[in-house]
Amino acid sequence: MLRLLSLIPTLPLAGFLVLALFGGRFSRRQIAWVGCGSIGTAALITALVGADFLRVFPDRTSYHQTLWTWIDTSGMTVGVSWYLDALSLLMVAVVTGIGFLIHLYSVEYMSGDDGYARFFAYMNLFVTAMLTLVLADNLLLLYLGWEGVGLCSYLLIGFWYREPEYGAAAQKAFIVTRIGDTAFAVGLFILFTQLKSLSIQQVQTLAADAWPVGSNVAVIVAVLLLAGAVGKSAQLPLQVWLPDAMAGPTPVSALIHAATMVTAGVYLIARMHQLFALAPTVLEAVAVIGLLTLLLAACSALVQRDIKRVLAYSTMSQIGYMFLALGVGAWSAALFHFLTHSCFKALLFLAAGSVIHSLGHEQDIFRMGGLRRQLPLTFWTFLIGAAAMSGVPFITSGFYSKDWILWSAWSSPLSHRWIWFGALLGTLLTGLYSFRLIFRVFFGEVRTSPNGTPGVAMLVPLVVLAFFAVTVGFLELPRTLGDLSLFSQYLSHVLPPIETIPGMDESVEALVQIAVTCSALLGMGLAAVLFLPRASVADRLAGTSLGRTLAAFWQGGWGFDRMYDGVLVRPWLHLTRESGELLDRGYESLGVAAESFHVWLSRTQTGHVRWYAATVAVGALVLLGLFAM
């Protein structure tokens, strides 16, 4: 069964090729079958492979499959080979499983669009690239997938390419992530020149042998890899592209910019954790970046008007939690939050998409309201998603994963108290912005009434994801509540256990949990106070001058866009404009010289064949003369 592994990325690739080559000739029904079928079959095979993997699991913790040699030059052999272990199996399951649900959802969501085949082709290509990324055995293949998902992200953000601003958003996403990708590539170069290998497993054991903890090389490589992860996962300071990336169709936002691609950075750091362990300062930087991003993004999420931008900022914020967890050494907690986040964030995006779809592409939450009655199923699933995101205690998955992260932030020797307090503030803000959305969109008076309700293809993924958004949390229960550690045991062969400071017993854990619960509930309560009443307190707050400035500042994402524009883009454009003329003149003179030379030479081309024969004879004479000399 494990041998079927290579089919998992191959099937979406086949789907992409079929749709790209023949999509124009297919009917919509056929396109949907090909697009969904390839991912669905891949998900099915993932289930088979996963079952087989788990059957032999503790005895055999990894499976290696080499398909062919990709590059073979002196000193460097890179194969197209897959590496399946607990970590990559988790990622593959999420990518194919949630990917399939989102494809199914898209069948109806995109049904009115002209680029139906193009959409599914891109989506299939994305899944291929993402699977290559997570299954790659070596860093070069991982980088191929890394760039592949970046390309698909670009193509899908700019899917409605007729709108110039969507194209600009696509370019922004591509260029900003490219900064991180370039750093990542440089990191790979250094790794290869230092260790003469690119295999993920080999590199890490070699690095652990060759470099002492905290050595310069290890720090530099870790920083460069972190830059790549930061770019892809939209963390500070490369976070500016994600809100604009919402220009793409909503299923794209759900799949790429919430559930899978943006968590590639988390995967990369978890995958290379032995390397990051050699650079404790960088690991601390990961935690700080995560903390800053989660707070900044949470504040921005509070004041957005566009429902998808709220979710985009919330995604950044939740990935901030994962980075924080990675930074304090709580590897499996980060991955657990990744799992729960994929479920509830995909659910939230799909539910938001169903709202947008029903309202005829209305995305402004101030023009929504009272949709609780009109779209009951959407309301309930959205509510479950929002509850999971804000961590409603005991019944939602988000509670368990976030609680684990906060407990690690409190108890880990790598953490600091202020990190924990920052993360606690984050849970309050999460509750606040999540329920602001609920109250704005589904409560209050009806401002826009929906024209139709979503169909079965859209509702089934919602219900399935809502089910998982509640239940995946029960895979790992804290010591105080049931003490179940299926998830951490599962990952224990790949990721090191979470360290705790001695003396952190269950009573402390219970206290931390109570703090987290209170904070989240406080956030939700505050949201109810602020946004639920008719003449809401929030409007009055926003009316004050301080409130207005703060709201505008937060809405623009803390002025990062303006700062980059002023510090980087404008000076650069200015420089190119100024130096452009000088450079142009240089190139123009080259052109003029070529042209005059051409005119001069073309005179020899008389069209008289005898002239040509004579020139050949003269040439032969000259050559003979040279030989004679």
Partner 1 sequence: MLTTHALVLAIMLFCLGLVGLLSRRNILYMLLSLEIMLNAASLAFIAGGSRWGQADGEIMFLFILTLAAAEVSVALGIVLQLSYRFQTLDADAFNEMKG
| Interaction site with partner 1 (CB under 8 A) | 601-610, 613-614, 617
- Of residues 68 and 627, the one with the C-beta less far from partner 1: 627
Beta carbons within 8 Å of 446's beta carbon, 6+ residues apart:
369, 370, 371, 374
- Of residues 452 and 607, the one with the C-beta less far from partner 1: 607
CB of 601 to partner 1, least distance (A): 8
* Residue 460 CA neighbour count, 13 Å, CB half: 14
CB of 625 to partner 1, least distance (A): 15
DSSP per-residue codes, 549-577: HHHHHHHTTTTHHHHHIIIIIHHHHHHHH
- Of residues 582 and 609, the one with the C-beta less far from partner 1: 609
83, β-bridge pairs: 64
DSSP per-residue codes, 211-260: S-TT-HHHHHHHHHHHHHHHHHTT-TTSTTHHHHGGGS-HHHHHIIIIIS
Q: Which amino acid is at 379?
A: F
- Of residues 546 and 609, the one with the C-beta less far from partner 1: 609
Cβ atoms of 286 and 179 closer than 8 Å: no
CB of 628 to partner 1, least distance (A): 14
Cβ atoms of 327 and 391 closer than 8 Å: no
- Indicate the burial class of 7 (C-beta count within 10 angstroms; 0-12, 13-18, 19 or more): middle
- Name the token pair of 246: 């919402």
- Of residues 47 and 618, the one with the C-beta less far from partner 1: 618
CB of 611 to partner 1, least distance (A): 9
Cβ atoms of 123 and 156 closer than 8 Å: yes
CB of 598 to partner 1, least distance (A): 9
- Of residues 394 and 600, the one with the C-beta less far from partner 1: 600
CB of 599 to partner 1, least distance (A): 9
Q: Which of 577, 568, 350 is nearest to 459 (CA)?
A: 350
CB of 228 to partner 1, least distance (A): 54
- Of residues 502 and 607, the one with the C-beta less far from partner 1: 607
What values do phi and psi take at 82, rounded to 5? -100, 150
CB of 595 to partner 1, least distance (A): 13
DSSP per-residue codes, 437-498: HHHHHHSSS-SS--SS---HHHHHHHHHHHHHHHHGGGGEE-TTTT-EEHHHHHHTTTSPPP
- Of residues 594 and 614, the one with the C-beta less far from partner 1: 614
Q: What is the dihedral of CA 535, 539, 545, 546, to 10 degrees?
A: 120
Separation of alpha carbons 110 and 188, rounded Å:
39
CB of 613 to partner 1, least distance (A): 5
- Name the token pair of 363: 């995305």
- Of residues 73 and 602, the one with the C-beta less far from partner 1: 602
CB of 621 to partner 1, least distance (A): 10
Q: How far is CA 502 from the centre of its chain?
A: 36
Separation of alpha carbons 231 and 183, rounded Å:
9
Separation of alpha carbons 501 and 177, rounded Å:
37
- Of residues 534 and 603, the one with the C-beta less far from partner 1: 603
Evaluated on CA atoms 441, 444, 445, 450, the torsion sign reads positive
CB of 608 to partner 1, least distance (A): 5
CB of 615 to partner 1, least distance (A): 11
Q: Which residue has the tokens 């099915």?
A: 44
CB of 600 to partner 1, least distance (A): 11
- Of residues 21 and 621, the one with the C-beta less far from partner 1: 621
CB of 622 to partner 1, least distance (A): 15
- Of residues 22 and 612, the one with the C-beta less far from partner 1: 612
Separation of alpha carbons 330 and 336, rounded Å:
10
CB of 616 to partner 1, least distance (A): 10
264, β-bridge pairs: none
- Of residues 582 and 599, the one with the C-beta less far from partner 1: 599
Give CA separation, 374 vs 106, 243, 367, 532, 551, in Å.
22, 28, 15, 18, 31
- Of residues 590 and 614, the one with the C-beta less far from partner 1: 614
- Of residues 27 and 605, the one with the C-beta less far from partner 1: 605
- Of residues 529 and 621, the one with the C-beta less far from partner 1: 621
Separation of alpha carbons 510 and 573, rounded Å:
56
Separation of alpha carbons 239 and 422, rounded Å:
19
417 Rama class: left (phi>0) / alpha (psi -120 to 50) / beta: alpha
CB of 610 to partner 1, least distance (A): 6
- Number of DSSP helices (H) and strands (E) in the chain, helices first: 27, 4
